[in-house]
């Protein structure tokens, strides 16, 4: 239930004391459907508290959108390679903390520049050092120096508030009350910004339309929405953590995060089954009690957590659509998926000084259109061992809807992939001249690929507001209207991003552990 729902309903359908009142002779305390980062963080948090946990993953490997695949000596990341949450201090370093909870850690490589923007009228980088970023902006927008400091300063105040409190379930009222008592100022600040979007704050401090457009792109590059629709709490997190804990790449590839979480899960007695596609959440007297797999096996547990999107949880796995979910579906829609290009190239085509992440746009009117903004990662600039010697990896992706790819015969589909990939490579020549002849290996992913391999509704990147909403207020937490069933991942508070779904995992585990009476 979201904060918005809580104000509309006086009572949760899944009460605090609602332990299993049907047949409790079950093998597991918790079953987690899906081994994405959201699901794995929830699972590891629960085994660390002594719960008996089973994770069921439909694919061969863990990680979901944050998985990887190896081809011809290259180790490719499925999704973006820009990872937040790996800092060493504070409370917002949720990936570091999730791994540590099950005795794991990863070697990471600090990224000196979060991203370089190549925009129609502006080329600018975001270095790790905050003062250097301000200087970059001052040079380009000298008349806005004060406004720039007020806007990004507001982001810092939100981040400091988040980074002060222990991040757990906002559905657990004793925790919320304790946080308010221990850190009243931080909690009041967060409560104040929960219903606010970035656009509102940016317009309070900044006048220059070019700078406001840049802030739109600063948001779009991770929320897939302009500033007017991007929650301010999330911007506080992203725009500050990049200068605090920084962006850090896990040595060996993004897939290492999920692999390490699985190792920690198993070392703490948890189990994971691969090729285990859940087709149904089993209910008894309206309560979730187990799951059925595509091979007809059934598993039972006291609590069920779904790491599938809410559309799939309440469309494919259950045939009920509670009123709370109907409201969510009116507020949120699926963002586009991506056309993804995974290239192995001759190393010389990437200049030695080139940084890892880039955003490319030639025409502002195209920013939100399919094929408009291009995201580029060159992770071998951080970890050369991801590619064979003398080679580099380039991962470029741009928004694309599944509707553009449906109903094509196999040859037409292949042809379309080839044509679209060639057009994308031509655009990349702007920042990587000589790219075309340097390509040695090419894999093209479409929304159909993402739907097939990640099991995500229409291959979507995640939910986005269907209209301008009040910040994060309408985003649901982990409990659902079906007793015993929880959802974790990017269709829960606070939304998309690895650090965001890690938060969802912490919060979900906290709520489930409290409901189960675990420590």
Ligand X SMILES: NC(=O)c1ccc[n+]([C@@H]2O[C@H](COP(=O)([O-])OP(=O)(O)OC[C@H]3O[C@@H](n4cnc5c(N)ncnc54)[C@H](O)[C@@H]3O)[C@@H](O)[C@H]2O)c1
Please enumerate in sequence order all residues whose Cβ is within 8 A of that of 353, keeping only pairs 6 or more positions apart, or say none: none
Query: Left if phi > 0, otherwise alpha if psi is -120 to 50, otherwise beta: which for 202?
Result: alpha
Q: Pick the piece of the chain touching ligand LYC (CB under 6 A) from 147-155, 383-391, 440-448, 496-504.
A: 496-504
Among 56, 167, 386, 428, interactor with ligand LYC by CB under 6 A: 167
Given a contact cutoff of 8 angstroms between Cβ atoms, the answer to whether 29 and 302 are in contact is: yes
**In whole angstroms, what is the distance from residue 219 CA to residue 198 CA?**
8
**Based on CB atoms, which residue is closest to ligand LYC, 44 or 499?**
499
- Residue 336 touches which of ligand LYC, ligand X, none (CB < 5 to 8 A by kind)? none
**Closest CB to ligand X belongs to which residue?**
36
Site residues for ligand LYC, 96-115, by CB under 6 A, read: 115
Residue with tokens 């489930």: 512
Q: Which residue has the tokens 């948890």?
A: 270
Distance CA 131, CA 128 (A): 9
With CB under 6 A as the contact rule, which of the stretches 56-64, 237-245, 351-359, 432-440 interacts with ligand X?
56-64
Tokens 């905050």: give the residue: 130
- Quote the least distance from Cβ 134 to ligand X, whole Å: 24
CA distances from 11 to 3, 5, 14, 17 (A): 12, 10, 9, 13
State CA 44 to chain mean position distance: 18
Specify the residue, 83 or 301, whose C-beta has the smaller distance to ligand X: 83
Residues 447-476, interacting with ligand X (CB under 6 A): 454-456, 461-462
CB of 434 to ligand LYC, least distance (A): 21
Residue choice 116, 163, 223, 307 for contact with ligand X (CB under 6 A): 307
The residues in 343-362 that bind ligand LYC, with binding defined as CB under 6 A, are 357-359
Q: Which of residues 229-258 bind ligand LYC (CB under 6 A)?
A: 233-234, 237-238
Helix (H/G/I), strand (E/B), else coil: 297: coil
Asked if 283 is part of the footprint of ligand X (rule: CB under 6 A), the reply reads no
Choosing among ligand LYC, ligand X, none, which partner's interface includes residue 311 (Cβ < 5 to 8 Å by kind)?
none
Q: Are 31 and 512 in contact (CB under 8 A)?
A: no
What token pair was written down for 142?
């000298």
**83 lies in the site for ligand X, by CB under 6 A:** yes
The residues facing 109 across adjacent strands are: 249
> CA–CA distance from 143 to each of 169, 211, 227 (Å)?
42, 11, 21
84 binds ligand LYC (CB under 6 A): yes
Print burial letters for 200-219: b (CB count within 10 Å at least 16), e (below 16): ebbeebbeeeebbbbbbbbb
Select the binding partner of residue 171 from ligand X, ligand LYC, none (C-beta < 5 to 8 A, by kind): none
Query: Which of 1, 3, 31, 35 contacts ligand X by CB under 6 A?
Result: 35
**Residue 374 touches ligand LYC, criterion: CB under 6 A:** no
Out of 47, 82, 95, 376, the only residue in the binding site for ligand X (CB under 6 A) is: 82
Nearer to ligand LYC, 39 or 399 (CB): 399
Instruction: Single out the residue of 35, 46, 148, 162 in contact with ligand LYC (rule: CB under 6 A).
Output: 162
Q: In sequence order, which residues have a C-beta less than 8 Å from that of residue 263 and are 6 or more positions away? A: 102, 104
- Would you count residue 179 as binding ligand LYC (CB under 6 A)? yes
Residue number with CB closer to ligand LYC (28 or 338) = 338
Nearer to ligand LYC, 37 or 170 (CB): 170
With the CA atoms of 439, 443, 446 and 450 taken in that order, what torsion angle do they form, in degrees rounded to the nearest 10?
-140
Output the DSSP codes for 395-461: EEEEEE-GGGGTT--HHHHHHHHHHHHHHHHHHHTTTSTTHHHHEEEEEEE-HHHHHHHH--GGG-S
Work out whether 481 is an interface residue with ligand LYC (CB under 6 A): no
Among 43, 56, 261, 509, binds ligand X (CB under 6 A): 56
64 binds ligand X (CB under 6 A): yes
Peptide bond into 494 cis (omega under 30): yes
Indicate the residue among 9 and 275 with the shorter CB distance to ligand LYC: 9
3-state per-residue secondary structure call for 20-55 = CCCCCCCCEEEEEECCEHHHHHHHHHHHHCCCCEEE
At what angle are helices 94-101 and 255-267 packed, to 10 degrees? Answer: 30
- Please choose, from the candidates 492, 504, 514, the residue with its C-alpha nearest in 3D space to the C-alpha of residue 29: 514
Select 84 or 405, whichever has its Cβ closest to ligand LYC: 84
Q: What does 36 interact with, of ligand LYC, ligand X, none (CB < 5 to 8 A by kind)?
A: ligand X
Question: Of 28, 59, 151, 314, which one interacts with ligand X (CB under 6 A)?
Answer: 59
* Binds ligand X (CB under 6 A): choice among 20, 101, 235, 308: 308
Q: Element (H or E) spanning 215, and its range?
A: helix 209-223
**Could you say which of ligand LYC, ligand X, none residue 278 binds, taking C-beta under 5 to 8 angstroms by partner kind?**
ligand X
- Examine residue 220 and tell whether it contacts ligand LYC (CB under 6 A): no
Say which entry of ligand X, ligand LYC, none residue 484 contacts (CB below 5 to 8 A, set by partner kind).
Answer: none
Token pair 């509704």 is found at 457
Q: Does 20 bind ligand LYC (CB under 6 A)?
A: no
Residues in contact with ligand LYC by CB under 6 A are 80, 82, 84, 115, 162, 167, 170, 176, 179, 187, 190-191, 221-222, 233-234, 237-238, 357-359, 375-377, 494-497, 499-500, 503
């Amino acid at each position: 239930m979201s904060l918005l729902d809580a104000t509309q309903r006086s009572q949760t359908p899944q009460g605090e004391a609602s332990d299993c009142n049907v047949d409790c002779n079950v093998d597991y305390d918790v079953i987690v459907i899906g081994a994405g980062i959201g699901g794995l963080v929830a699972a590891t948090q629960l085994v660390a508290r002594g719960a008996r946990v089973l994770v069921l993953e439909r694919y061969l490997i863990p990680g979901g959108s944050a998985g990887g695949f190896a081809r011809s000596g290259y180790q490719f990341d499925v999704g973006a390679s820009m990872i937040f949450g790996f800092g060493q201090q504070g409370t917002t370093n949720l990936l570091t903390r999730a791994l540590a909870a099950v005795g794991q850690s990863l070697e990471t490589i600090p990224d000196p520049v979060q991203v370089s923007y190549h925009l129609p009228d502006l080329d600018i980088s975001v270095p790790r050092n905050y003062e250097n970023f301000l200087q970059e902006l001052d040079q380009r927008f000298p008349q806005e120096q004060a406004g720039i400091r007020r806007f990004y300063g507001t982001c810092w105040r939100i981040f400091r508030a988040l980074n002060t409190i222990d991040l757990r379930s906002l559905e657990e009222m004793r925790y919320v009350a304790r946080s308010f008592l221990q850190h009243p100022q931080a909690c009041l600040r967060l409560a104040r910004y929960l219903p606010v979007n970035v656009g509102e704050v940016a317009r309070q401090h900044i006048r220059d339309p070019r700078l406001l457009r840049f802030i739109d792109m600063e948001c779009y590059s991770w929320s897939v929405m302009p500033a007017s629709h991007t929650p301010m709490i999330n911007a506080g997190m992203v725009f500050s953590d990049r200068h605090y804990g920084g962006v850090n790449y896990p040595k060996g590839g993004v897939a290492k995060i999920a692999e390490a979480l699985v190792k920690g899960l198993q070392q703490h007695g948890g189990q994971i089954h691969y090729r285990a596609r859940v087709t149904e959440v089993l209910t008894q007297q309206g309560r979730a009690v187990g799951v059925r797999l595509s091979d007809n096996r059934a598993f039972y547990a006291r609590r069920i957590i779904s790491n599938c999107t809410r559309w799939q949880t309440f469309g494919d796995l259950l045939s009920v659509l509670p009123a709370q979910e109907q409201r969510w579906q009116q507020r949120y829609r699926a963002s586009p998926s991506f056309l993804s290009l995974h290239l192995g190239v001759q190393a010389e085509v990437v200049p030695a000084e080139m940084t890892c992440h880039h955003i490319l746009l030639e025409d502002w009117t195209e920013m939100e259109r399919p094929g408009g903004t291009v995201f580029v990662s060159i992770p071998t600039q951080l970890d050369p061992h991801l590619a064979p010697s003398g080679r580099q990896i380039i991962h470029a992706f741009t928004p694309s809807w599944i509707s553009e790819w449906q109903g094509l015969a196999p040859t037409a589909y292949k042809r379309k992939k080839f044509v679209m990939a060639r057009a994308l490579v031509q655009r990349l020549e702007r920042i990587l001249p000589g790219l075309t002849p340097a390509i040695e290996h090419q894999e093209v992913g479409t929304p159909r690929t993402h739907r097939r391999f990640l099991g995500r509704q229409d291959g979507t990147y995640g939910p986005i507001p269907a209209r301008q909403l009040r910040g994060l207020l309408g985003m649901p937490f982990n409990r659902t209207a079906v007793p015993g069933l929880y959802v974790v991942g990017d269709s829960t508070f606070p939304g998309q991003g690895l650090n965001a779904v890690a938060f969802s995992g912490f919060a979900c585990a906290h709520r489930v552990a409290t409901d189960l009476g675990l420590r």
